Structure 1
Amino acid sequence: MAELLQPEGATPAQAPAHQIPEVPEDWYHHDGRTDIWVAMRNVHVWGVLGWHDIRQRYRRSVLGPFWFTLSTFIMIGVLGFLYSELLKQEISQYLPFLGVGLVLWQYLSTSITEGSNAFISGSFLMKQIRMPATIHVCRIVWRNFCILLHSLPPVMILSLALGNRPNADFILIIPGLFLLLLTATWIGIVLGILCLRYRDLLPIVANILQVAFFFTPIMWAPTLLKERAWIAHYNPLYHLIEIVRAPMIGEPIDPISWVWAIGMVVVGFAIAQALMKTARHRLAYWI
C-alpha cells in the first residue's frame, strides 16, 4: 500500500501512506455480502481518508472549508431578503428556515452527486488495492458531513440573533443528523454502482437534483401550498431536511417525518446490500 499511495501531489483519490492505519483481517477477506459492514465498521480508515480530502482540497487556503460556509451565508442573505418579501414572510422566521434548509440541501445534493461518482473517482485504489468498495462512498459522505457540521452552527447563531429560541426538541438534531449520514451512505452505494455500470445516469442524477430543489420546501414553506401541501408531504427529501431543521428553528417535528426517514434508511440499505451482493465482483471490470 505504501508503494501505491504517494504523499507528494496526491489527489483526493490518493492519500499519504503514513496516514493509512492498520486494518483488521476481514478487510482482505470480504465479499459482496460483507462489503458494506466491513467498510462502515472501519471508521478510522474512511475517517482519515475523508479528512485528508478536505485538507488537500483547501490546501494553502486561509479560510479553508469556511469558504463554503461564507458563500452559503451570502446566498442566504440575498435569497432571504428577496423571498421574504416575495412570499410575504417575516424575515426573523424566514431566514433561519431558509438557512438551515439550504445547508442541509447542499449536504444531501453534494453527497448524492459525488456518491454517484464514488467508484469512478476511486478507480485508482480499486484497481490497485484490495479494500471494501463501500469505503469510497463512506469517504465522500464523511468529508461532506464534516463541512455540514461547521456550517450549521453559524446558521444557529443567526437564528438566535433574530430572536428564535430552540425548544426541548433541540436534542433531536443528533438522531436527525445520524439518519442524514446513513441516508447519504446508502444512496451513494446504490447510485455509485448504477452510475459505474451505466455512465449516462450521472447527468440524469444531476438534472433530477436540480428539479428536486424547486419541489422541496427549502425556499418556501409547505403551508403556502394550502390544499396542495401533499406535494411536500410525499417528498422524502423534505422529511430528511425537516427532522433536523424543525428542532433547530424551534418547531415540533411531525412524527411522519421520522417514519419516512427511518423507513428510507431500512429500505435503502436493503437495496444497497442486494446490489452490492450481486455486483461487488464486477465493479473492477466496469471501471
Structure 2
Amino acid sequence: MADAYLLDRVRVATTSGGTGALVLGLAPVGYSDPFTAGAVPGRPYTWVCESEDRATWEEFVGSVTPGSPSTLSRSRIIRTSNGGTSAVNWPAGTTKYITCVAVAEYLQYGGNEPGWERLNVDIVTSPVAAIIKSLPPEYPRFRLTWQDVTPAQAQTDLYFRLYVGGALLQGAADYPYRHTIASETGVVAGGGALNVGRLSPGSPGAAAGYLEFNASGARAWWARAHFRDGNNVHHGYEASGWVPGITSGPAEQIVVSFVSASIAAGRFTLWGAE
C-alpha cells in the first residue's frame, strides 16, 4: 500500500454526479480549500465525501488537479456507507461535502496496527544526529516506522544499529552486510552497517517507511524494510545473518544513526509485537 497524506482543515462542496472525479466547489466558512492548505497536485490524500444528511458517504484516496474547474480523483475507494469498496454513484446537482480526513490504515504512527503495540514516538523539529530507542524485553519483534522525514543537508543515509549489553551489534567493523537503497535501481549489497535508505534534500515529508526486525537473539537476526524517498519511489528487502564477536542475548536498544546532525524534521515510532 502506497503512502497517503493529510491536509489541515480542508472541506469543500461539490455537486458532481456519477462515479468519476469530483468537481471541487467552494469551502464553507471556517474551512480551507485544498490549494490554500498546500495540496500538491498528483499527491494522494485521504478523503470522505458525504451527503448533507451524512447518510451516504465514501472514504477514498484521491489527488487534486487545478483547473477551471479543479477536480479530485477517486483512485482507491477504501469503504462506503453501504459496506462496499465501489465508488458511490452520486446524484448530480445535489450538494455533497468533501473533507480531508485521517484513515486508520494510512496512519503509520496513529492508532495501533493489529498485533502491534505503539511503544514510543520521537518527533524531530530541529537537526539531530541520532535517535535511541529502548527495546522492552517482553517483545521479540519490533518495527521502527518513520514518516515526514526531511534531511537538513546533502544526501543522508539511514543507518540502524542494535546494542546488546552495551556492545554494538551492527557496525562497520563487525557486521558483514550492507543493504543500500540509493535510487530507483534497487538494493545494492556491500559492506558496513545496515543502511536502509538514502534521503535526498527536498520538501517536508520527503521520506517514509519502516524497518521490522527480530531482536530476541543477538547473533541470529532478520530484518525487512520498506522505504520511500519522494512520492513515487518504493523499495523493500528482506535480509538475515550472523554477527560475529557478540555474545548471544536479546538486543536492548536500536539506534537510528545519521551522519552529523543531518535530519531536520521527522517522526519516528517504535512498535512491539509478541
TM exceeds 0.5? Answer: no
Task: Report 1 or 2 for greater relative contact order, CA contacts < 8 Å, sequence distance ≥ 6.
Answer: 1
More strand by share: 2
More helix by share: 1
TM-score (norm 1): 0.20
Rg (Cα) greater in structure: 2
TM-score (norm 2): 0.21
